[in-house]
Structure 1
Amino acid sequence: MPPVIPRTTRRDLLAKAAAISAVSALPEVSFASPNDRMKIAFIGTGGRGGSNLQTIAKSEGVDVVALCDVDSRFLTSAGNKFPRAKQFQDFRKLYDDIGNDVDAVVVSTPEHTHAYAAMPALQLAKHVYCEKPLAYNIDETRRLTKAAQKAGVATQMGTQIHASKNYHRVVELIQSDAIGDVSEVHVWVSRAWGLQSQEAAKKNRDISNASSRPQETITPPAYLNWDLWLGPAPYRPFHQAYFPGPKWYRWWDFGNGTMSDLGSHWNDLPFWALRLDAPRTVEASGPPAHPEIAPASMTAVYEYDARDIPSVGRLPPVTMTWHQGTHKPEIWKQGGIPKWGSGVLFIGSKGMLLSDYRKHLLLPENEFKDFTPPEPFLPTPAGHHQQWLDACRGNAVTGSPFSYAGPLTEANHLGNVAYRLGKKITWDKDAMECIGCPEAQPLLKREPRSGWSLG
């Protein structure tokens, strides 16, 4: 067993390691001058896309040169704000027309098209900001991760909470040994959207409720190019059960439910703080899996082996449990911790740390009343978008590059894979397969519809 770095020096070593990492992770492709204006194309201009567009466009030195959306309402609205930008409905045509002329691309489409919208940019060595989750399945996620590494460009997955002061501080506390060795983590989110009774859907404020795939055929609204919206997904006739978003995210054809959506945010914190990567095993439970629709509530248990971390030492094995919807940790049910609606609980050898998006507590509180917190050692970015823009110019390192976001996304997908199979899976990261479980393969990879390819 490799030697364990002494606790008394871990904090200083972490700060030093972070500084070294920041230099070594700078993108290989950057602009000649930090003052160069960036020409950015935006794929997806409504919802999150509209927010990303407005935030990035307000940054200094940014030119919005292209807009793309399958919904003409959003495209027209964005075009009115940026009249000099070229407009497209099909991002494949955007790349054919001006792909070589842009510096960066922002992808804010439904997750089933993330990889197909982002991959051409990486193949052209363009910087990419892609909304979460990184891709629809593990195969697409792995391919994007590898393409980003090969391109050497600045990438960022759109988990804006990753740049928050609270998340940074929690990571500093965990990595500074505030609660000792962490062997158990619980993550819970209260959103209960997906397959459930009409009564439960109403109680849980679910915006859509269905128990089977719609059979009726409805004409798509005139403003929507439904065929382009489907993209690489299997053909399904238009129906209001899928559109507008985020209705689509509960259908396995187009999304992966709350696990891949909110898991991108909430599982991010333990993944980062504990330096997790690929789990060894995953086991899930919940209502019987539906072939078409993701569950409203479920639990997934991840077992992570001990990790040898350069400049840190050997970190102990960790069990991380995801609780979704009505499912909650036992310690929460029994009143052992404050009953926050959603949260992350780290259980260590010296105590516990409870966090949500904006606040955190060291528990039991009376045992930490004389606790001296560590000095901050993680650089706090001006914002998630600005951090990416700075990285594009070679002046910063992104907090959620595809090299980090890829393994996080894969782990979230594995929770759904275990749930849909109804069995415990053992994961082989290198072979990208569930050991002794060939029936998992269709859940890891799917062939795209005719006319679509990742190249």
Structure 2
Amino acid sequence: MNKRDFLKKTGIGALGALAIPSILGANKKIKALKPGGRLRTAHIGVGNMGAEDLRDIASHPQVDVVALCDVDAINLSAARKKYPKARIFADYRVMLADMKDTIDAVVISTPDHTHAPAAAHAMQMNKHVYCQKPLTHFVAESRQLKKLAEEKQLVTQMGIQVHSFYDYKLATLLIQDGIIGKVHTVHAWSPKNWGYKGTEPTGKDDVPAQLDWNLWLGTSPERPYKEGYYHPGNWRKLMDYGCGTLGDMGVHIMDTPYNALQLNVPMTIKNECQKTNGFGYPENNIVTYEFPGTDYTSDTLKWIWYDGPGMPPAHEDLVLPDGNGISHKRRTAIATDISLDAKKAAKGELPEQGAMFVGTKGRLLLPHFMQLPRKIQRGKYVDISKDIAKHNLGQPIRNYDSEGPKHYHEFVDACLGKATCSAPFGYAAKLTETILLGVIAGRFPNQTLHWDANNAKFAEPEANRFLKGAYREF
């Protein structure tokens, strides 16, 4: 397939920063299969996270895995051993063309730069799509995928599996109950480091025999292969392929506050970080967003994201009660909640990753992950057992093996007409857009960018060129 045909088919190549359709709009009726039928799935990317996605989708009793695709023959061989009836491919375009009549849904678990090209290609062929987070590599792509999902009436889900976990559902309900009043500030953090302050490598190495480097690059710019920089593990650090820590942990940790507060996209974005060389992302980011208000927030909402070593820095909103501020009953509940982070919280130490909602009636700490949210008021933890009980969610679930498949099975059931997806592209596009605006702000350190959501452009014209990318013919 040549470049012109590919871009025409996906509908992405024609997008410009000024012509991106609005992400707002009513959901249309979804085209689902018959509830009693079976879902035939094809999987693009079956190594690492793709192997987990494949396992959890396939664990649904009404799924038949019919196709596997990966640019790495070792990944493909391992998956084929578990699903020997599935056909195998290296090129997803060939797979979709050859099996267009025997695939119902496509699962995409590739590096970020391949998400939108593969998803759009599948959706143009009327296939339901489950796509790993972040939904896309560029803002323009997120808006296009949302538009395609609505026009084609397809079932879609972004792969943020913790979205369906007990504690995140609970935190959403508690915030929307007004447990801490109107929220005016959110802090969210991860010390994970998907930044790279080194220089772009020179020269080239031999491409491993099992890897199709051209297909791995896909629509991204041509670049010689260098061992240790790209495949399989370091692409998140690099601007051409990943979205940094924001695009990895940020999607998970920001998801619940974003969902609970029913936010749209931000009005302003500022990233306090080091200047980059245009190849790798900055290592420490402090991204401040300002959002328009909602029913659950003050007139505007301030959101601060921190990532990288040592994050978050000290802040009065993040001070926790020590053990003396906890009742015996609450201390016992925290100590038995789960693992080291719960015990750290009981000692007045922040969990390694998490979010803090700050409202007019207190604060709500949401550790990441599989730990109960904790209300803080006047410097003390507050017993919220009655608030929790009224939602009839049952006992907290602390088993990842049982929680993990829920988000995937929700997608399968939606395809079969038995459920509704909780993270469809209509939602995922907005969350991803928010994430990507923070990523773009990292190219303009310490400068406030102003975002016009209706026209999908920055007031600062120099930032607009990063809203989309040129697709390479491959």
When normalised by structure 2's length, the TM-score is 0.82
SS at match of 2:186: strand
C-alpha separation in 1, matches of 2:387 and 2:151 = 40
Q: Deviations over 1:119-149 (max 9, x none)?
A: 1221122111000110111011111111111
SS at match of 2:408: helix
- The match for 2:457 among 427, 433, 446 is 433
Residue 320 of structure 1 pairs with residue 303 of structure 2: yes
Q: Displacement of 1:245 after TM fit?
A: 3.0
- Following superposition of structure 1 onto structure 2, how do residues 288-299 of structure 1 map, counting pairs within 5 Å? 288-299=275-286
Q: 2:265 — aligned with what?
A: 278
Query: What is the CA RMSD across the aligned residues, in angstroms?
Result: 2.2
Residue 81 of structure 1 pairs with residue 96 of structure 2: no
Which residue identity lines up with residue 242 of structure 2 in the other structure?
G
| Maintained 8 Å contact 1:27/1:154 | no
Q: 1:204 — aligned with what?
A: none
C-alpha separation in 1, matches of 2:94 and 2:193 = 38
Q: Displacement of 1:216 after TM fit?
A: 1.5
Residue 213 of structure 1 pairs with residue 200 of structure 2: yes
Which residue identity lines up with residue 101 of structure 1 in the other structure?
T
- The match for 1:231 among 203, 209, 218 is 218
Residue 361 of structure 1 pairs with residue 384 of structure 2: no
Q: 2:428 — aligned with what?
A: 405
C-alpha separation in 1, matches of 2:137 and 2:249 = 14
Q: Displacement of 1:99 after TM fit?
A: 2.1
C-alpha separation in 1, matches of 2:28 and 2:39 = 18
Which residue identity lines up with residue 376 of structure 1 in the other structure?
H
SS at match of 2:206: coil
| Maintained 8 Å contact 1:26/1:397 | no
Q: Deviations over 1:257-308 (max 9, x none)?
A: 101111110110110010011101111101223311112211000001123x
Distance 1:170 1:96, change over 3 A: same
- The match for 1:373 among 365, 387, 408 is 387
Number of positions where the alignment pairs a residue of Structure 1 with one of Structure 2 = 408
Consecutive aligned runs of 4 or more in structure 1 exceeding 6 Å deviation: 377-382
- Following superposition of structure 1 onto structure 2, how do residues 11-90 of structure 1 map, counting pairs within 5 Å? 28-31=30-33, 33-90=34-91
- Following superposition of structure 1 onto structure 2, how do residues 36-435 of structure 1 map, counting pairs within 5 Å? 36-196=37-197, 211-307=198-294, 316-325=299-308, 326-329=310-313, 330-331=315-316, 338-356=349-367, 357-359=369-371, 360-364=373-377, 366=380, 368-369=382-383, 372-373=386-387, 375-376=390-391, 383-422=406-445, 423-435=447-459
C-alpha separation in 1, matches of 2:84 and 2:386 = 54
Distance 1:368 1:418, change over 3 A: same
| Maintained 8 Å contact 2:269/2:289 | yes
| Maintained 8 Å contact 1:283/1:418 | yes
Report percent identity of matched pairs.
Answer: 35
Distance 1:168 1:333, change over 3 A: closer
When normalised by structure 1's length, the TM-score is 0.85
Gaps of 5+ in 2: 1-25, 322-347, 398-402
| Maintained 8 Å contact 1:99/1:121 | no
C-alpha separation in 2, matches of 1:245 and 1:264 = 21
Which residue identity lines up with residue 327 of structure 1 in the other structure?
M
SS at match of 1:303: strand
Gaps of 5+ in 1: 1-23, 197-210
C-alpha separation in 2, matches of 1:107 and 1:321 = 30
